[in-house]
Structure 1
Amino acid sequence: MSFAEQLHRLQAFLDADELHDEALDYVAAHGYLTALSICAETVPDREWIDALFAEPPHYADEAQHQEIEATLIQLKAHIARQLASDEEFELPCDLDLGDDPDDSELRGWCIGFMEGVFLRESAWFENDEEEVSEMLLPIMVGSGLFDEQPEFADIAADANLMDDMIVQIPEALTDLYLLLQAPDEKPAILKPRHH
């Protein structure tokens, strides 16, 4: 079975209504795996898989159980390779929150990403808290999880500013990856940014 077919089956499994309410759907799982691939500390597969599902899903049989978990692990590796390449990172959804942000796939992706960050929050912020926070900002804004905080509410209220931030997500991911996974290349990242 090709990787594309495996992904298709994974997507159908994660997007099914039978999963626990707090389980991540495919797009959110992609965001979550992206965060795990960027994090400097490796989270054991068992731990992140269990957290992704919130509670053990009902698999049809052991073969499906193995296949779904294996595909998740492969997808994580695939995402890591994408991050390490020189190409712009592609999200599995449009870089647009649409008319109803809460229903948008991008919001789901960003929430999934933040779930991945929360699994090892200290590992993200221990060395370059300010810089990491700045790079995470477009994703934090997209997630809507922080809208109760005044500075986020201000951004959320400005549609143009929101759009400007959202389109920065792919670049932010590359920057985060370099910062957390390739610290030797630091000086290149610290060059001033032109806003």
Structure 2
Amino acid sequence: MLSNLQYSTLSGTSTARDFLEFPSQINDHWAMYDAVLKNYALHYETKEPIPQALVDRMKAAETYGAGLHTIEVDKAAYLDLHWHRATEEAAMRAFGVGMTEVPPRYHSGYFLHIVAGGYASNYYVYEWARVLDCDGLEWFLESGGLTRENGDHLRARVLSVGNSVDANVAYEKFAGRKANMKAFLRINGLLGE
């Protein structure tokens, strides 16, 4: 829809698998952005906006469980990457993720990403997209927030070029830098600051 490419095989979701989730995940942040929230978070009868105290509590809870979620997804990615080499238990032991304190999010029998839908050996892309989207969010916030100009910048540098440009090059043209893991850690409350 936002592509400027002649061939559909290079646009939309036809990008490098480890870049595919970035556009959708960066847009997830805007649901709680004040300028967006006031347009949809209204009482269904009175049309009164959501109370600010509730918004503040929701924002304060955004990082709750982020560490557990990260470990769950990472464990699933490790299992996915090593599925064809060994049994589920051996793959988890190899990476020290077989700890009982954090049970596996997915068991092989119903973890369809590892065998269907184009994500086989690619489940890690969700975490990499989270790194990109957190760094991208910081770029937006450093550059004035959710503005038409910044949205056009994302569209021109990332969304419209699809797979006609290397994903890393596209991201660096968008953000003016390589993705920074610290943004991911900071936004998810994992820096311990």
| TM-score of the superposed pair, with normalisation by structure 2 | 0.27
Identify the structure with the greater helix proportion: 1
| TM-score of the superposed pair, with normalisation by structure 1 | 0.26
